[in-house]
C-alpha cells in the first residue's frame, strides 16, 4: 500500500524527519507486511491528500461505567455527587452487564482509530470488583488487535487502611494491572501516600493516580506524590490524571510542583471533557475551568496527554470514544496552538505514559497502525469533514469513518 502526498505532523515524525523544517512538507509512505517500509518526500507536487497520524492512544478511561447516564442521571457540576450516584447503582451490575458496556466502548474506540486504551476500574475495598473479571474477558477477546490495560481505582484512605493495599496489589499483579488511588485533600496524606508507594515498590507495580480533581488551591496531592517519588527513588512509572487544582495555585507554586514532577518522571494526563463539565459553577458562567497547566508542564519537558475519561455516565453525560473530539475540546480550552504541534497528546505522550512497545512516532519499521484524516492542515483538523478518516490496522484499511 502507498499513501501518497500525506502530511505528517512534526511531533509524530521519526528521527530522520523530526527536524525537517517545513511543517507543511508532504511525504509518500510505503507499507508492506504490516509495517511502514519507507518514507520519502512526495514525488508529486500539489495539494496534500490527508494528514497521517499514528494509531491513537487513550491513557485514561472508565469503560466499567460508561453508557449508564440513563440509569444514574447526570451530576451537574458535582464530582462527589457523581461518585455517590455511581456507587448507588453499581451494586446491581453483574459482570456480564459490565462486559457488554466494555465491549461497546472498545469497539467504538477501535473504529475511531484507537490502538491502545487504559481504563480505571472502581475498586472500593480489598475484594476485586466484578468489573475485573469482565475486563479480563474483554482484554482476551481483543488480544492482538487493541492493547488494553487496567488500573485499580481505590480511595486513598481505604487503600492505606490495614492490609487492604496488600490484598489489592496482589490481585492487580496477578491480573497484570496498574495500582491506582483517588487522592484529594486527604488527612495524613504523606503517611497514606507513603504506604501506597511502599506497596507499589514491594509488588513492582506502576502507579496511575487520580490527583487533585477539584478547584481547591490547597489540594497539593500532586506535589506530595512528586516529593515522595524523589525521596523513595521510585523506579516504577507514575501517571497522574486530572491535577485541576494546579491551575488554581499561583504561578510560582505551580512551577515548583511541575519541576518536582519532571524530576520524578511523572506523566500528566488532562481530561477536558469531564473536568470542564464537573468543575466550576453551574449557576453562572464557570470561571475558572477545570483543566491542568498543560503549557507550563511542556515548559518542563512534560508533554501531557489528553484522554477521554468518562462517556455517558454521571460524571460526563455526553461524548464518545473518539479521541479527536477530546483533542479538539482540549485545543480550544487550553489554547493548544498550532494544533498540529500538540497531536502528540493523543499519540506519542500517552504511548510513553502507558509503556507501549511503539511510542507512536512514524518512521520506517514502525507498525502500520495508522489513521489517515481527510484534514490537510490544523484548521480543517477540528472540522467535522476534516475528522473523516481511514483507520489502518496492520497495513490494511479497517473502515472509513465519518
Give the CA radius of gyration of the chain: 21
What b/e readout covers 12-36, taking b as 16+ CB neighbours within 10 angstroms? bbbeebeeeeeeeebbbbbbeeeeb
Q: Can you list the domains of the chain with their CATH numbers?
A: 2-55+360-401 (2.30.40.10), 56-353 (3.20.20.140)
H-helix segments, 232-311: 251-264, 272-278, 294-299
pLDDT tens readout for residues 160-177: 999 999 999 999 999 999
Rounded CA-CA distance 357/57 in Å is: 12
Please, which pLDDT band fits residue 402 given cuts at 50, 70 and 90? Answer: very low
- The pLDDT value given to residue 252: 98
Q: What is the pLDDT of the chain when averaged over all its residues?
A: 94
117-132 average pLDDT score: 97
10-26 average pLDDT score: 80
41-54 average pLDDT score: 91
- Structural element, H or E, at residue 57: strand 56-61
Phi and psi, residue 368, nearest 5°? -90, 55
pLDDT tens readout for residues 227-275: 999 999 999 999 999 999 999 999 999 999 999 999 999 999 999 999 9
E-strand spans in 134-237? 147-153, 178-183, 207-211
Please, which pLDDT band fits residue 89 given cuts at 50, 70 and 90? Answer: confident
- The pLDDT value given to residue 286: 81
Known catalytic residues are 213
Please, which pLDDT band fits residue 182 given cuts at 50, 70 and 90? Answer: very high
Please, which pLDDT band fits residue 358 given cuts at 50, 70 and 90? Answer: very high
Quote the DSSP letter at residue 393.
E
Instruction: Look at the alpha carbons of 341, 346, 347, 349 in this order and tell me if their dihedral is positive or negative.
Output: positive
Residue 43 in this model has a pLDDT that exceeds 70: yes
Please, which pLDDT band fits residue 57 given cuts at 50, 70 and 90? Answer: very high
- The pLDDT value given to residue 399: 62
Please, which pLDDT band fits residue 42 given cuts at 50, 70 and 90? Answer: very high
Range 375-380 contact pairs with CB under 8 angstroms and sequence separation of 24 or more: 375/50, 375/51, 376/7, 376/47, 376/48, 376/49, 376/50, 376/51, 377/7, 377/24, 377/48, 377/51, 377/340, 378/337, 378/338, 378/339, 378/340
Rounded CA-CA distance 90/94 in Å is: 9
pTM (2 decimals)? 0.96
pLDDT tens readout for residues 290-341: 899 999 999 999 999 999 999 999 999 999 999 999 999 999 999 999 999 9
Amino acid at each position: 500500500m502507498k499513501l501518497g502526498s500525506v502530511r505528517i505532523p512534526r511531533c509524530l515524525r521519526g528521527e530522520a524527519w523530526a527536524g525537517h523544517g517545513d511543517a507543511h512538507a508532504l511525504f509518500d509512505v510505503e507499507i508492506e507486511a504490516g509495517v511502514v517500509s519507507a518514507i520519502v518526500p512526495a514525488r508529486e507536487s500539489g495539494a496534500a491528500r490527508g494528514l497521517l497520524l499514528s494509531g491513537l492512544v487513550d491513557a485514561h478511561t472508565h469503560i466499567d461505567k460508561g453508557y449508564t447516564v440513563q440509569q444514574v442521571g447526570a451530576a451537574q457540576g458535582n464530582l462527589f455527587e457523581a461518585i455517590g450516584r455511581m456507587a448507588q447503582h453499581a451494586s446491581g451490575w453483574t459482570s456480564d452487564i459490565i462486559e457488554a458496556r466494555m465491549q461497546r466502548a472498545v469497539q467504538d474506540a477501535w473504529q475511531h482509530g484507537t490502538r491502545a486504551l487504559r481504563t480505571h476500574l472502581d475498586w472500593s475495598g480489598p475484594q476485586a470488583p466484578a468489573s475485573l473479571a469482565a475486563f479480563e474477558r474483554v482484554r482476551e477477546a481483543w488480544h492482538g488487535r487493541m492493547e488494553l490495560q487496567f488500573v485499580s481505582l481505590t480511595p486513598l484512605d481505604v487503600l492505606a487502611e490495614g492490609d487492604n493495599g496488600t490484598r489489592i496489589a496482589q490481585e492487580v499483579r496477578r491480573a497484570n494491572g496498574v495500582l491506582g488511588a483517588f487522592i484529594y485533600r486527604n488527612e495524613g496524606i504523606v503517611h497514606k501516600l507513603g504506604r501506597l508507594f511502599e506497596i507499589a515498590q514491594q509488588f513492582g507495580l506502576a502507579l496511575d493516580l487520580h490527583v487533585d480533581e477539584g478547584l481547591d488551591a490547597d489540594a497539593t496531592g500532586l506535589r506530595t506524590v512528586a516529593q515522595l517519588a524523589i525521596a523513595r527513588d521510585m523506579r516504577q512509572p507514575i501517571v497522574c490524571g486530572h491535577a485541576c487544582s494546579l491551575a488554581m495555585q499561583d504561578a510560582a507554586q505551580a512551577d515548583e510542583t511541575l519541576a518536582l514532577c519532571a524530576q520524578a518522571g511523572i506523566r500528566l494526563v488532562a481530561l477536558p471533557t469531564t473536568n470542564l463539565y464537573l468543575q466550576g459553577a453551574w449557576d453562572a458562567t464557570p470561571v475558572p475551568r477545570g483543566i491542568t497547566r498543560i503549557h507550563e508542564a511542556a515548559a518542563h519537558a512534560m508533554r501531557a496527554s489528553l484522554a477521554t475519561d468518562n462517556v455517558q455516565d454521571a460524571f460526563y453525560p455526553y461524548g464518545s470514544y473518539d479521541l479527536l473530539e477530546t483533542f479538539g475540546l482540549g485545543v480550544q480550552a487550553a489554547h493548544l496552538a498550532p494544533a498540529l504541534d500538540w497531536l502528540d497528546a493523543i499519540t506519542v505522550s500517552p504511548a510513553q505514559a502507558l509503556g507501549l512497545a511503539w511510542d507512536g512516532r512514524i518512521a520506517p519499521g514502525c507498525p502500520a497502525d495508522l489513521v489517515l484524516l481527510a484534514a490537510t492542515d490544523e484548521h480543517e483538523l477540528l472540522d467535522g469533514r476534516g475528522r473523516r478518516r481511514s483507520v489502518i490496522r496492520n497495513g490494511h484499511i479497517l473502515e472509513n469513518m465519518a
